[in-house]
């Protein structure tokens, strides 16, 4: 083949490729989902992310000789970036990570999903499996953070294999879970007795919506979980005063006492037009790690309840086929010349860790669990949505912590604000 013939053949191939690309491009549609979402037949792709900037003020009163103190911080609660999409109707994916609380980069939601049919899904990745509020994205939570139930109840993102089936008003989920994808390997190969096991857990959850009308929606659900800590640190049960600020266990904690545990949880919600109520409760039956602190096997109890009211007429967006809440639909956003949406909230949180202290039979066990107390907290909240993808939040929390150790009681008054953008 001479050069002229080769050039002509190459030009023809280029024209054919461009024509094919143009034809394909004509089939591609773009929708606005906070950011462009491209769809071409069964293929879909979207860039996703979020930015949450918080201000936190805490006034902490403690019993002498422990000193009272105040904290005041502006902080990056979350700065995430990722992608999501599907290759066809059977395979979808999601990968998102970023910095949490100003820390190093870590993975959050990472999923490879196989859908044999419309009502069945098998997922592998960093996944949540249970809990109504836990499964609701931070982007759509009514409050800024989940409170002690989120710290101690259903697990957050863990390396998991999850199978899920659902209908129009029910879901059934089963999961095998290890630790987070952000955790290092459990490695004991250089020890005298080589071999190591990561923590392992098994979770099942079911939800059902017996009432599903335009005016009323009722959600009922329950979950059960078994966990074994393996060769990792024992399970610790600890919480914060309805905030993502500070380390869990700063004010109330059992210490790392759990060898294995079994958790039973129930959940419920009722949405009536622009008014809703929601609550969850869990009983965690702990098998004490005897090598840490001898004693009986305690029960840890934790729960919450809240009410929500939208004076601007919106309603919390419940999806019965997922058994969770999603992004609210703002009736009159500023992008349409409106004033946006307003949500007003009140919440009660409760946690009881005292059984961990009362069943400890050694001095070391009492010291380890001296902050295993009772937490009671009230939170008032207000959310303003200029659009469905932008939110301004304010939360005020008053909390009392009655710890069993001498001089360990704590009172907290806390005020938080957040500016949020997600896409």
Its sign, for the CA torsion 234, 199, 157, 263, is negative
Classify residue 190 as exposed, middle or buried by CB count within 10 Å of its CB (0-12, 13-18, 19+).
Answer: exposed
Based on the fold, state whether residues 90 and 24 are members of the same structural domain: no
Query: What pLDDT, on the 0 to 100 scale, is given for residue 191?
Result: 64
Query: What pLDDT, on the 0 to 100 scale, is given for residue 193?
Result: 61
Query: What pLDDT, on the 0 to 100 scale, is given for residue 13?
Result: 39
Structural domain harbouring 3:
1-31
Biggest CA-to-CA distance, the chain: 95
In this prediction the pTM is 0.89
Based on the fold, state whether residues 106 and 245 are members of the same structural domain: yes
Query: What pLDDT, on the 0 to 100 scale, is given for residue 170?
Result: 98
Based on the fold, state whether residues 27 and 53 are members of the same structural domain: no
Based on the fold, state whether residues 10 and 66 are members of the same structural domain: no
Tens of pLDDT, residue by residue over 293-319, are 789 999 999 999 999 999 999 999 999
Based on the fold, state whether residues 68 and 17 are members of the same structural domain: no
The secondary structure element, H or E, covering residue 49 is strand 43-62
Residue numbers of the chain with a pLDDT score lower than 70:
1-26, 188-193
Based on the fold, state whether residues 127 and 213 are members of the same structural domain: yes
Query: What pLDDT, on the 0 to 100 scale, is given for residue 280?
Result: 98
Query: What pLDDT, on the 0 to 100 scale, is given for residue 192?
Result: 62
Q: What angle do CA 104, 144, 97 make, to 5 degrees?
A: 30
Contact 252, 238 (CB under 8 A): yes
Contact 48, 35 (CB under 8 A): yes
Based on the fold, state whether residues 18 and 131 are members of the same structural domain: no
Domain CATH code at residue 228: 2.40.160.10
Query: What pLDDT, on the 0 to 100 scale, is given for residue 254?
Result: 96
Query: What pLDDT, on the 0 to 100 scale, is given for residue 84?
Result: 97
Query: What pLDDT, on the 0 to 100 scale, is given for residue 190?
Result: 67
Q: Which residues contact 197 (CB under 8 A, 6 or more apart)?
A: 186, 230, 231
- Domain count along the chain: 2
Based on the fold, state whether residues 181 and 137 are members of the same structural domain: yes
User: H helices of 87-140, where?
Assistant: 132-135
Query: What pLDDT, on the 0 to 100 scale, is given for residue 23?
Result: 41
Based on the fold, state whether residues 164 and 78 are members of the same structural domain: yes
Contact 320, 169 (CB under 8 A): yes
Query: What pLDDT, on the 0 to 100 scale, is given for residue 46?
Result: 96
Based on the fold, state whether residues 316 and 181 are members of the same structural domain: yes
Query: What pLDDT, on the 0 to 100 scale, is given for residue 102?
Result: 86
| Residue-level length of the chain | 423
Query: What pLDDT, on the 0 to 100 scale, is given for residue 292?
Result: 83
Query: What pLDDT, on the 0 to 100 scale, is given for residue 9?
Result: 42
Query: What pLDDT, on the 0 to 100 scale, is given for residue 32?
Result: 87
Based on the fold, state whether residues 198 and 95 are members of the same structural domain: yes
Based on the fold, state whether residues 15 and 37 are members of the same structural domain: no
């Amino acid at each position: 083949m001479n050069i002229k013939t080769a050039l002509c053949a190459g030009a023809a191939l280029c024209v054919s490729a461009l024509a094919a690309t143009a034809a394909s491009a004509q089939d591609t549609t773009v929708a606005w989902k906070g950011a462009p979402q491209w769809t071409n037949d069964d293929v879909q792709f979207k860039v996703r992310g979020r930015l949450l900037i918080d201000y936190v003020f805490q006034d902490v009163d403690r019993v002498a000789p422990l000193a009272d103190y105040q904290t005041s911080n502006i902080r990056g609660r979350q700065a995430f970036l990722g992608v999501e999409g599907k290759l066809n109707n059977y395979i979808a994916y999601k990968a998102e990570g970023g910095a949490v609380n100003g820390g190093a980069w870590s993975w959050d939601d990472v999923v490879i999903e196989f859908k044999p049919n419309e009502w069945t899904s098998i997922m592998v990745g960093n996944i949540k499996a249970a809990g109504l509020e836990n499964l609701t994205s931070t982007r759509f939570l009514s409050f800024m953070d989940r409170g002690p139930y989120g710290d101690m109840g259903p697990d957050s993102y863990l390396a998991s294999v999850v199978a899920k089936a659902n209908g129009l008003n029910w879901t059934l989920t089963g999961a095998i879970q290890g630790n987070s994808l952000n955790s290092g390997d459990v490695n004991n190969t250089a020890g005298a007795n080589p071999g190591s096991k990561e923590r392992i857990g098994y979770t099942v959850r079911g939800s059902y919506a017996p009432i599903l009308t335009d005016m009323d929606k009722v959600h009922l659900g329950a979950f059960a979980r078994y966990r074994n800590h393996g060769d990792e640190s024992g399970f610790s049960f600890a919480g914060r005063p309805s905030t993502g600020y500070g380390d869990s266990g700063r004010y109330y904690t059992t210490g790392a006492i759990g060898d294995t545990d079994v958790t039973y949880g129930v959940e419920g919600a009722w949405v009536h037009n622009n008014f809703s109520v929601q609550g969850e409760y869990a009983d965690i039956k702990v098998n004490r790690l005897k090598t840490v602190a001898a004693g009986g096997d305690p029960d840890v109890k934790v729960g919450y309840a809240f009410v929500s009211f939208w004076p601007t007429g919106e309603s919390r967006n419940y999806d019965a086929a997922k058994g969770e809440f999603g992004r609210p639909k703002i009736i009159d956003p500023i992008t349409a010349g409106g004033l946006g949406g307003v949500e007003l909230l009140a919440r009660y949180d409760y946690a009881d860790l005292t059984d961990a202290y009362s069943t400890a039979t050694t001095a070391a066990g009492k010291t380890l669990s001296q902050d295993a107390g009772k937490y009671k907290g009230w939170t008032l909240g207000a959310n303003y949505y200029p659009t469905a993808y932008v939110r301004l939040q304010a939360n005020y929390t008053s909390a009392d912590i009655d710890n069993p150790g001498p001089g360990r009681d704590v009172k907290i008054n806390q005020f938080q604000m957040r500016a949020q953008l997600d896409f």
